[in-house]
Amino acid sequence: MTATTGELTTAEQVREAIMDARRDVTPMEIRSGGSVLDRLPAGDHPVLSVAGMTGVVAHAAEDLTVTVRAGTSLTELSQVLADAGQECPIEPTGGAGSTVGGRIATALAGPRQLGAGRVRDWLLRVRFVTGAGQIATAGGVTVKDVTGYDLCRLMTGSWGTLGVITEVTLKLRPLARHRAWYATDPPRHDLDALLYRPSASITTRDRTHVLLEGHPDDAVEQAALAELVPADPPTLPVTARASVDPARLVGLVEACETLGLAWAAQDGVGVCHLDGDGDQLDAARTAAEKRGGSLLVLDPDLRRPAFGSRGSFPLDERVRRTLDPDAVLAPWRWTR
C-alpha cells in the first residue's frame, strides 16, 4: 500500500477523498483498524482510512443504543458500555486493532455468534459515503424501524465496496450476570441442541468449548446436563476461516482433519477456523466450496487469493455499479 489520503475526521472529508479518486480514476483501499485488511493480500493502492474518525457520539443507556464513529476501537467501546452494565456483542475476530466500522464492514462471525446472532442484527443506523460521493444515512436510532429500504443490512458485510461507513448506531443489551467458558471431552457437535441457547459452542480436535451466559444457577444446571467442566476459552486458529451451512460443518471438519489442518469449528454457526500451509488451505477451500461454502485466507504470506471463486451475482454487480459508478472503492475486493 502506498500513499494514503491523510487523516480524515469528517464525512465531508471522506466525500472529498472519494470525489478526488473519481476524478483521478484511482481506486482506493478502504481501511479502518486493519485487523482484517492487513491479513489480506496487499496491493499497491492509495488508502482511504477512517481510523481517525473515533469516539462515542452518544450512549443512550436508557434506550439501549450507542452511536459511535467508525474508527472507534471495539475495546474502547466495550469499556464505555461495560461501565453502564451493557454490551454490544460484536467482537474482534483475531488480529489487532478491531474497530466498530471494520467489523460492520467485514461482518465476520465472532465467537458468540451462536447466541448473539449475526453482526448485521445489531446495526440500527448507518451513516456512509457512497462511491458516488453521496453522504447518506439509513435506519434510525429506534430499535424498530422499517422506514425505507434496509440499507443497514446492505452496508453490513459490504467490505467497503459500496460506501465508506463513517458512523453507526448499535443496539445494546445488558451484560450477562454470569459468563464462563466450559469444556467437555471427547468433543461433540450436538451441544447447541442439548443445551438451551448457549452463547458459543466451539469444537476442536480434543474437546468442545461452551460459553454459558446468564443466571449462574442456570449455568450450573446446564453444565451438569452436558457434563461440562470449567475451562479456558478456546484458542482459535487464525490463518483462514471456512464457512459452510452448519448442517455440513461436521463433514468439512472431517475433511480438514484428514488434510492435517488445525481447526476449531463454531457449531451451529458454520464457521471453521483453520491453520495450515497454502496447499492444505487450497484443499480445504475445495472441500468448503464442494459443500456450497467458501474459505477466506487471512495470511498474505501464503500468496493465496483471500476469497475463493465466487459465482456470478448479477444483482450484486448492478448495485455496486450504482453506488460506486467509477469503481473507486476496492473494486478488487472479492477477486483477490
Partner 1 sequence: MTTAEGARRRPWARRAATQPGPLPWLDPGADLTDRERALLTAVHAIVGDDGLRAGELGRATYRRDASFLNADPLGVALPWTVEQTASVVRACRDHGVPFTPRAAGTGLAGGATPTGEGGVRPLVVSVARMDRLRELDVANRRAWVEPGLVNARLGRAAAVHGLRFAPDPASQIAATLGGNVSTNAGGIHVLTYGVMSQHVLAVELMDADGVVHLLDGTAPELGGIDLRGVSVGGEGTLGIVTGACLRLLPAPPSVGTMLAGFPSLRQAAAMVGDLVTSDRLPDAVELMDARAVGLVEGYANAGYPVDAAAVLLVEFEGLPHAVAAGIDTADALAEANGATSVTRAKDAAERARIWKGRKAVAGAIAKRAPDFFLQDVVVPRSRLGDMLDAVVAIGERERLEILNVVHAGDGNLHPFVLFDRREEGVLDRVFAAGHDIVTTALDLDGTVTGEHGVGIEKRDFLAQVFSEDDLAVQRAVRVAVEPSGLANPDKVLPSTVGCLEARMVPEGAWV
Please state, as a whole number, how many other Cβ atoms lie within 10 Å of the Cβ of residue 277. 13
Told to check if 108 binds partner 1 by CB under 8 A, we report yes
Question: Applying CB under 8 A, which part among 31-39, 45-53, 156-164, 226-234 lies near partner 1?
Answer: 156-164
Long-range contacts of 250-253 (CB under 8 A, 24+ apart): 250/189, 251/291, 252/284, 252/287, 252/288, 252/291, 252/293, 253/203
Q: Return phi, psi of residue 119, to 5°.
A: -50, -40
> Total binding residues for partner 1 by CB under 8 A?
82
Give the closest residue to 94 by CA, choosing from 82, 114, 73, 111. Answer: 111
Contacting residue, 166, 320, 328, 330, with partner 1 by CB under 8 A? 320
Told to check if 38 binds partner 1 by CB under 8 A, we report no
107 burial (CB, 10 Å; 0-12 / 13-18 / 19+) is buried
163: β partners? 130
Question: Applying CB under 8 A, which part among 24-32, 37-45, 268-276, 278-286 lies near partner 1?
Answer: 268-276
Output 51 or 159, the one with its CB closest to partner 1: 159
Told to check if 156 binds partner 1 by CB under 8 A, we report yes
Site string for partner 1, 43-82 (x = CB under 8 A): -----------------xxxxxx-----------------
Residue 2 host element (H or E): none
Reduce the DSSP state of residue 45 to 3 states and report it. Answer: coil
Positions in 195-254 near partner 1 (CB under 8 A): 196-197, 214-218, 221-222, 241, 243-247
Q: How far is the CB of 69 from partner 1 (least distance, A)?
A: 19
Site string for partner 1, 294-313 (x = CB under 8 A): x-x----------x--x--x
Told to check if 141 binds partner 1 by CB under 8 A, we report yes
Told to check if 169 binds partner 1 by CB under 8 A, we report no
Question: Applying CB under 8 A, which part among 16-24, 37-45, 110-118, 199-207 lies near partner 1?
Answer: 110-118
Output 54 or 137, the one with its CB closest to partner 1: 137
b/e map of 180-217 (b: 16 or more CB within 10 Å)? Answer: bbbbbeebebebbeebeebbbbbbbeebbbbbbbbeee
Question: Applying CB under 8 A, which part among 1-9, 36-44, 97-105, 286-294 lies near partner 1?
Answer: 286-294
Output 206 or 322, the one with its CB closest to partner 1: 322
The torsion angle over the Cα atoms of residues 144, 150, 153 and 155, rounded to 10 degrees, is -130
Contacting residue, 157, 251, 278, 331, with partner 1 by CB under 8 A? 157
Q: How far is the CB of 4 from partner 1 (least distance, A)?
A: 25
Output 29 or 213, the one with its CB closest to partner 1: 213
36 burial (CB, 10 Å; 0-12 / 13-18 / 19+) is buried
Told to check if 10 binds partner 1 by CB under 8 A, we report no
Told to check if 95 binds partner 1 by CB under 8 A, we report no
User: What is the rounded CA–CA span in Å between residue 48 and residue 326?
Assistant: 16
User: What is the rounded CA–CA span in Å between residue 193 and residue 114?
Assistant: 12
Told to check if 144 binds partner 1 by CB under 8 A, we report yes
Told to check if 175 binds partner 1 by CB under 8 A, we report yes
